[in-house]
Amino acid sequence: MVARARSAALLAAAVLAFPRGLGDGFALPGAVPGRGCSRRSWMAFTGVVSQMGVEASARAEEDGSPLFVVDETNLLTPSTEKYLDRLLKKLEDDTGLKLRVICPPRDLQTDRDAFSDYLRPISKKLGTDQATVVILAEERFQKRTGRPLPLMTVQVGFRLQERFQYRLTNDFLLSVADKYGFPPTVDKVGPDLAIQDATKNVAACLFGLSDDATKRFLRFVPEEQVAKILKKHGL
C-alpha cells in the first residue's frame, strides 16, 4: 500500500510538472494515449523523420556527437552520454526498437509552446516516431515548497504500446521512473547514474521483448537480469 501510494504521488507530481505529456502518440503511465495532448506537440515530436533529420544524423555521426541522447543541462557525464548512445544504437541495430534520452533545458517543459518549438528539431535529430520510447529527465522543483520532483518520466509511443500490448505494461514504466527517479534515490546516487540505470533497465526490457515473444514485464527488470540481457547483446 505504501509503495502504491508513493507511485501514485509520483505520477501526480509528474503530470502537474509536465502538463499534457508530449503529444497524441505519447502518454504518461496510466494515462489514455491521445487524451488532452496537443496535435502541435505531437507533430513537433513524433513526425516522420524528414531528409533534414537524416542529414542531421549524418552530421552528428561525422563529428562524434550523440545520435540518440540529448543533454541540455549536463546531467550526464561525457562518458555516460557516450555509453548510452552506444547502448541505444545497439538496441536499434539488433531489434529495430527505438529508445531515446532527452534532458531538456530547465523549466522549458512548463511553457507548452516553447517546449513544442524546442522538440521540433530534436525530433528530427533523434528520429523519433510513434514507436519510440523516450526517457525525459530534468531536475525540477515545486515552486511553492522548493521540494524536488521526480527526475524522469518514461514516454511510450502508442504504436509500440499496440505492438507489445499486455507485455510492455504501464506498471513497468511507472516502476522504472519510481525506482530511479525518486528524489531520495537521485540525491543518493546522482542524476548521471540514475538516468544511466533507468535507460539500461528500459533497454533490457526492450531486448527481452524482442528476444522472447512470451516475455512480459510488470515491474522494473532486476539488476542481475539487466546485466545478463545486456551481456547477451555484447554490452
**Domain boundaries in the chain?**
2-232
Residue 145: half-sphere exposure toward Cβ, Cα within 13 Å: 5
Which alpha helices (H) appear in 99-182, and where do they start and end? Answer: 112-126, 158-163, 170-181
* E runs forming strands in 84-203: 98-103, 132-137, 152-157
Which pLDDT band, with edges at 50, 70 and 90, does 64 fall under?
A: low
Which tens digit of pLDDT belongs to each residue from 39-54? Answer: 444 444 444 333 334 4
d(CA 88, CA 198): 13
What's this model's pTM, rounded to 2 decimal places? 0.76
User: For residues 27 and 156, is the Cβ–Cβ distance under 8 A?
Assistant: yes
pLDDT at residue 11 tops 90: no
Per-residue pLDDT tens over the stretch 146-188:
899 999 999 999 999 999 999 999 999 999 999 999 999 999 9
Which of 72-81, 121-130, 199-208, 210-219 bottoms out in mean pLDDT, i.e. has the lowest? Answer: 121-130
Per mean pLDDT, which of 24-28, 58-62, 104-108 is the most reliable? Answer: 104-108
pLDDT at 15 over 90: no
* C-alpha cell at position 221: 527488470
Between 73 and 9, whose confidence is greater? Answer: 73
Angle in degrees, 0-180, between the axes of helices 39-46 and 112-126, rounded to the nearest 10: 30
Instruction: Find cell 505492438 and name the residue.
Output: 163
- Cα–Cα nearest to 135, from 29, 24, 19, 6: 29
* Apex 99 CA angle, 83 and 23, nearest 5: 140
Architecture, CATH, for domain 2-232: Roll (3.10)
Residue 111: the pLDDT is 86
